[in-house]
Every structure is written in C-alpha cells, then in structure tokens.
Chains A and B, each alone.
Chain A
Amino acid sequence: MNTVGKRRLPVLMALSMSVACSKEYEITPIEAEVDPGSYMECPFSETDEASISVYDCNPVFDTTGESWGPEVGSVGFYTNMVMGHPVYQIWYGASMDGDDYLADWGVGTAVSTNGTDWEPHPDNPLLSEVSDAWEQDGMTALQIVRDDRNERYVMAYQGYSFDGFEWLIGVGVASSPDGVSWTRSGANPVLEQRIDYGGGLYITWPFALYAGEGGGVTAYLGGQTSGGPVHMYVAQLSEDLADWNIMDEPVLEAGPESYDKAGIADASVVKVGDTYYMFYVGFSEWEEIAGGAQSPRLSTLNLATSRSGISWEKHPSNPLPVNLTSEPEVSAIASQVVGDQIHLWVTDNYGDSNAVGYYLFDPSSL
C-alpha cells in the first residue's frame, strides 16, 4: 500500500499543482477593447458624418437632482481608465436658477460605471461661491484635465461678480489630488477680462486644458482685439498654475467661415498618434444678456487638426452634424481618447434644458 502510494505521489503532486495554479498560466495579457455599445443600455448609430456615431439614448447627463444646484451649467468630463476600462467622471457647475446669471452656484462631481447612471459625490458642492470674492456671482466655462505627471486634476473656469453697474470677469484655476478636494490658486483671478495682455488683446474665458505626457498644462483661451471675433489663444501654465504665459498670436482664428465668424466658445484637444484633434464650438452671432454683457448664439461643433498642437487646420466638413436644433445651440464639448476612438460629450439643447449627449469619433475614417 505504501509502495503504491509512493509511486502515485509525484503524479498526484503534479496534478494538484497544475489544478491549483492552472488558472494563472492561462491568463494572457490582452489590451482591453472598449466598446461602449456593448455595456450601455442602447447602441450607437451612424450619423451623416461617417466618422461620427451617436448614442441612441442621449442625453447621458442632464442633472443629478441635487438640492444645491438643480440647474446644471458648464460641464467637464473625464474618463478614468480602470484596468483599461472606462469609469466616467463629470464635474459640473450648477446653480439654483439657470436663467439667473447671479444665482447661487457650486461645483459638483459624479461618477458612472456605465456612462448613463451617475452617482454624485456626498461632499458636493466641492466648490461654491464665497462672499465678496471676485467670482461670488457666478462661474461658467468649466474645464478639467488630469495632470498625471503631477498626480493632480486641474480645473479652470470663468468667474464673475456684478455690482449692478459693472462686471468683474476673470479666469480662475484650482487643483485637486483626487478630483474631490479642490484648492483655488492664491493668484486667482489669474487673468482678468479688463486687462490688456499686449497689442490690445483681452482674454474672454478658458476653452480647454491639455496636459502633455511630458508634463506641463496648456490652456486654450478666448481672446479679442478691438471688439472683433473671439479667436483662440494658448497659454502655458507654470507648475503652480499661478502664471499664464500667453502666446502673442492666435492658434486658431475665428471666421471667415460663417459657422465661427463671431468666435469660438469652447474646445477640447486630444492626441491620436502624431495628430492633435481639436473639437471646438464656433458661433456666428452674439446676444445681449444682463448688464450689457454678451453671450454666444448660433453655435455648432467643429473640428480642427494639427501636427504641432499650435498651428491648426479647420476640417472642410465643418460644422459637424450633431446639433439638435435648427438654430444650433451646442454650448460645450469634452473629448477623450479611449482605445482607438475619440469619445465626445456634447452639451446641447434637449428641449427643456441643456444636457450632454455621447458621441464616438473614429479618427481613422478622416
């Protein structure tokens, strides 16, 4: 009996080890293939533009229903990749009344594992107005980027206050190690709309933030000279985010095309291979709002590409056919490369209110 047992022992041991560890040997490293249509409730459909598909059950975000900010304004999207799979995160400026430019405001965040169901953070609002601060009456044009090199998120926004006669409008910046605890820069407002930044250049609001792999944050900004159209300028931010070094010349000029003849309102920049893709909101008219201030009107989504990230070429098929209303009201754009596609979140008029729709862009089809 002992003899038989000894003969079988090596076989038994090998078999046991094989069973115990077999699963480990079967694992083959494979890059995740992200197909939102496979895990979201609805599929994506083709549009008139071959490179763009649209989620059939848009919008994917309108409001979280939080009492501190029932009306969502500007939105910043970021897709956190967890083991190569998307966990969507959104930061949103919200106010008690979307039609009141001076209503109480705050900034919140929410996450989603499927792109449609959002879980607001229990600490919302993460930022809110501070009495007598330069941006006590409002914030908009929220932009977010993940600066991996410095292990932080960076936020830029337009803030303002209005004393009944005069607007004080500027650009603010804040940073956060986790996207939840934010610290405003002590240098805020880092830019002011009433200051001439050289050659009669006045900065309007931030369009986009971009963090390069090598470090450093770039801001794309609106700028006007002599009351002309809002062109796009670029600024390099110091590591502490306090100093914004603005290049003298615009990197993308508004007009003469009709879709952006009055200016550029928002943008988002990504890089695929050697090419930068800039999705931007162009507008063709202004409309008057309170206190003599103006806001963009007739706004569409457009595309420009670049090899350098500095000099851009507008796409010949602009504007991209994503706007929902006959008088186009696209107000914001966020984009991110996920796998081999560019994911787009487009803020538009969904009837009762502005909301965010989800689109996919295939850069290989250009």
Chain B
Amino acid sequence: MRAMLWTAMVLAGCATKEGVSACTSVCGVLFDECQLESFASFEECESSCAYAEQRGAKVDWYDECLANVSECNTYEIVECENEHGW
C-alpha cells in the first residue's frame, strides 16, 4: 500500500512538469542518439527545448514525431521541426 502511494505521489509530482519531461526525451534523441553536432551539450539542448516550448513549440508532439524517425534520418528530423517547432 505504501509503495503504491509513493509511486502515485512521484508520478503526480512529475506529471506537473510534463512538457519539460518531453524536452528531456527530445534531447535524448537529438543529442544522445542522433548526435546533432550543433548542440553543445545535453543540458544546452534541454534549455533550448524549454525556450522553444515557451515560444510555442509543441514539444510533446515533437517528441512523438521524433520517436517515429528511423535511424536518425535528418530529413525526418527536419520535418518534425517544421510540423511542431516554432
């Protein structure tokens, strides 16, 4: 019971920052997996992502779009930006 309560509270706490979590996921693809060279670091990617979200980027959809990119295809990454960026 305690474990269930703890899990629920942790999830609730994180859920309030859902957009930022999506940025972490987005940068997991752009920086870690696909190694886009103009990103200086993972943290810099996250900060840029959060900034993009402030400016209207739909980061959750962006994240979903990137999940469907095959083998870090740069053309598909650009399309995700065109569809969900700012």
Interface residues of A (CB under 8 A from B): 9, 13, 16-17, 20-21, 23-25, 27-32, 34, 36, 38-39, 80-87, 89, 111, 113-114, 119, 121, 151, 178-180
CB of A119 within 8 A of CB of B74, answer: yes
Max chain A Cβ within 10 angstroms of own Cβ: one of B38, B77, B79: B38
Question: B21, B23, B51: which contacts A84 (Cβ < 8 A)?
Answer: B51
Nearest residue, chain B, Cβ from A122: B75
A contacts with B: majority SS: mixed
Shortest distance from the beta carbon of A47 to any chain B beta carbon, whole Å: 23
29 A-B pairs within 8 Å (CB atoms) are namely A9-B2, A13-B9, A17-B10, A20-B10, A21-B10, A21-B14, A24-B20, A25-B17, A27-B20, A27-B23, A27-B47, A29-B51, A29-B54, A30-B44, A31-B48, A36-B38, A39-B37, A39-B40, A80-B78, A83-B39, A83-B49, A83-B52, A83-B85, A84-B51, A85-B39, A86-B38, A87-B74, A87-B77, A114-B38
B contacts with A: majority SS: helix
CA distance A174 to B85 in the complex (A): 24
CB of A81 within 8 A of CB of B81, answer: yes
Question: A16, A21, A29, A113: which contacts B74 (Cβ < 8 A)?
Answer: A113
CB of B38 within 8 A of CB of A27, answer: no
Question: A9, A24, A114: which contacts B24 (Cβ < 8 A)?
Answer: A24
Count of residues in B whose CB is under 8 Å from the partner chain: 39
CA distance A151 to B50 in the complex (A): 23
